[in-house]
Structure 1
Amino acid sequence: MNELLLGMRLRGMQYRRIHASDSFGFAFKAKPGCAYFHFLAAGTAHLLSEDGAIQTLSAGNAVFLPHGSGHKIFSDPKAVVLDIDHCDVMPLSETVSAVKTGLNNTSHTIFFSGCMEFDLGGLQGLVPLMPELMMIDATSQRYVELMPILTAMEKEACAGRVGDAGILARLADVVMAVIVRGWVECGCGNSSAFVTALREPRLSRAILALHRQPGHDWTVAELAAESGLSRSVFAKRFQETIGVAPLRYAGELRMRIARTWLAYDRMSIERVAERLGYASQAAFSRAYKRITGTSPGHSRREQTT
Structure 2
Amino acid sequence: MDQIAPSSDLMSELLLGMRLRGIQYRRVYAGPSFGFAFKAQPGCAYFHFMATGTAKLVTEEGELQTLSAGNAVFLPQGSAHQIVSDPKASVQDIDHYDVVSLSETVCAVTASSCSAPHVIFFSGCMEFDLGGLQGLVPLMPELMMIDATSQRYLELMPILTAMEQEARAGRVGDAGILARLADVVMAVIVRGWVECGCGNSSAFVTALREPRLSRAILALHRQPGRDWTIAELAAESGLSRSVFAKRFQETIGVAPLRYAGELRMRIARTWLAYDRMPIERVAERLGYTSQAAFSRAYKRITGISPGSSRRA
Structure 1 length-normalised TM? 0.90
Q: 1:272 to 1:43 in 2, by over 3 A?
A: same
Query: Does the 8 Å CA contact 1:4/1:211 hold for their aligned counterparts?
Result: no
2:165 aligned with 1:150, yes or no? no
Which residue does the alignment assign to 2:263?
253
Which residue does the alignment assign to 1:55?
65
How far apart are residue 124 of structure 1 and its match?
A: 1.2
Which residue does the alignment assign to 2:252?
242
Query: Does the 8 Å CA contact 2:231/2:241 hold for their aligned counterparts?
Result: yes
Distance 2:108 2:253 in 1: 46
How far apart are residue 261 of structure 1 and its match?
A: 2.4
> Which one is further off, 193-202 or 8-17?
193-202
SS at match of 1:115: strand
How far apart are residue 2 of structure 1 and its match?
A: 0.3
Query: Does the 8 Å CA contact 2:132/2:264 hold for their aligned counterparts?
Result: no
Which residue does the alignment assign to 1:216?
226
2:23 aligned with 1:13, yes or no? yes
How far apart are residue 254 of structure 1 and its match?
A: 0.7
Which residue does the alignment assign to 1:118?
128
2:96 aligned with 1:86, yes or no? yes
Distance 1:88 1:237 in 2: 53
The one of 41, 46, 52 aligned to 1:42: 52
The percentage of counterpart residues that share the same residue type is 85
How far apart are residue 48 of structure 1 and its match?
A: 1.9
SS at match of 2:78: coil
The one of 57, 64, 70 aligned to 2:80: 70
**Cα deviation 1:118-139 (Å, max 9, x = unaligned):** 1111221221112222222222
> Which one is further off, 239-248 or 17-26?
239-248
2:247 aligned with 1:262, yes or no? no
Distance 1:239 1:134 in 2: 26
> Which one is further off, 115-124 or 240-249?
240-249
SS at match of 1:188: coil
How far apart are residue 218 of structure 1 and its match?
A: 2.4
Which residue does the alignment assign to 2:149?
139
SS at match of 2:152: coil
Distance 2:93 2:288 in 1: 48
Q: 1:110 to 1:278 in 2, by over 3 A?
A: same
Which residue does the alignment assign to 1:198?
208
The one of 85, 102, 114 aligned to 1:104: 114
Query: Does the 8 Å CA contact 1:47/1:73 hold for their aligned counterparts?
Result: yes
2:30 aligned with 1:30, yes or no? no
Q: 1:90 to 1:7 in 2, by over 3 A?
A: same
How far apart are residue 230 of structure 1 and its match?
A: 5.0
> Which one is further off, 77-86 or 143-152?
77-86
**Cα deviation 1:85-128 (Å, max 9, x = unaligned):** 12222211110111222233211111011000111112212211
Q: 1:283 to 1:195 in 2, by over 3 A?
A: farther
SS at match of 1:147: helix
Which residue does the alignment assign to 1:161?
171
SS at match of 2:40: coil
Distance 2:269 2:33 in 1: 44
Distance 2:190 2:76 in 1: 10
Unaligned runs of 5+ in 1: none
How many matched pairs?
Answer: 302
Unaligned runs of 5+ in 2: 1-10
